């Protein structure tokens, strides 16, 4: 996958015709993506790709996300477009990696993913169980960060072996690392160590599904 810096240069090339021959700067790319210059600079420094904004950019210009993320030429995409897969993307749902999220209006979009990414989701047969949502907050950093898009397998809810899950409590929707204790209760763990571990009974939460990937492998 291309780095954010590589993607920025590709976007500069794409939008250069809109600038009538003038040099395109990082601040211009930030404006095109709808990101503040401060956040843009931070993302570029940390190599944090703003997938949501990038998807909107590609959709508005009829560009394949595979071209931007993997550096494929337009010619190679003629064949590759027959190898894309679709998963449900709830673009207005934010599973919090911090405070609870409540903005669940369930506006569904179709998210196009390249063939080589399907294996990270468990294979083609699992796609019917996969849904994509957004991340907000910082309690799961460095595993997940704000504006990451994560893929949740709703068929995988068994917490006996632990793992990262999307859960719902009375406080909202969360992405957390879950471990079952000997007494049956669940430790709700944040990867960011400044956040304390919570312990809940099974009847105090709903397991939505296991987080199986983001745009990159989940560890």
Q: How many residues does this entry show for the chain?
A: 219
Q: CB–CB of 26/19 below 8 Å? A: no
pLDDT level of residue 89 (50, 70, 90 thresholds): confident
Q: Are residues 179 and 123 in the same domain?
A: yes
For 93-102, the pLDDT digits (tens) are: 677 654 444 4
The answer to which of 18-22, 87-91, 173-177, 188-192 has the lowest mean pLDDT is: 18-22
Half-sphere exposure of 151 (CA within 13 A, CB side): 27
Q: Give per-residue burial for 17-47: e unless 16+ CB within 10 Å, then b.
A: eeeeeeebebebbbebbebeeebbeebbeee
Specify the CATH number for the domain of residue 37.
1.10.260
CA distances, 51 to each of 28, 43, 56, 203 (Å): 18, 11, 9, 35
Domain boundary among 25, 40, 72: 72
Q: CB–CB of 58/51 below 8 Å? A: no
Q: Are residues 39 and 144 in the same domain?
A: no
For 40-81, the pLDDT digits (tens) are: 999 888 888 888 788 888 877 777 777 777 765 544 444 444
Q: What is the pTM (predicted TM-score) of this model? A: 0.61
Which token pair is 14? 């794409």
Range of the domain at 219: 84-219
Q: Are residues 128 and 210 in the same domain?
A: yes
Number of domains in the chain: 2
């Amino acid at each position: 996958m291309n780095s954010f810096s590589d993607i920025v240069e590709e976007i500069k090339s794409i939008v250069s015709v809109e600038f009538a021959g003038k040099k395109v700067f990082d601040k211009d790319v930030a404006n095109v993506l709808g990101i503040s210059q401060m956040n843009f600079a931070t993302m570029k420094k940390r190599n944090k790709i703003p997938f949501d904004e990038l998807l909107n950019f590609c959709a508005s210009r009829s560009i394949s996300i595979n071209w931007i993320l993997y550096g494929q030429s337009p010619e190679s995409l003629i064949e590759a477009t027959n190898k894309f897969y679709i998963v449900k993307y709830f673009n207005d749902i934010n599973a919090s990696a911090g405070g609870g999220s409540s903005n669940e209006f369930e506006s569904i979009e179709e998210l196009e993913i390249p063939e080589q990414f399907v294996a990270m989701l468990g294979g083609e047969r699992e796609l019917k169980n996969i849904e994509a949502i957004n991340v907000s907050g910082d309690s799961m950093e460095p595993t997940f960060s704000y504006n990451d898009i994560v893929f949740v397998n709703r068929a995988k809810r068994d917490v006996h072996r632990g793992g990262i899950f999307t859960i719902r409590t009375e406080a909202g929707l969360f992405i957390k690392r879950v471990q079952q204790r000997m007494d049956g209760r669940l430790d709700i763990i944040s990867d960011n160590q400044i956040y304390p571990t919570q312990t809940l009974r099974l009847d105090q939460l709903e397991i939505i599904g296991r987080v199986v990937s983001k745009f990159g492998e989940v560890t």
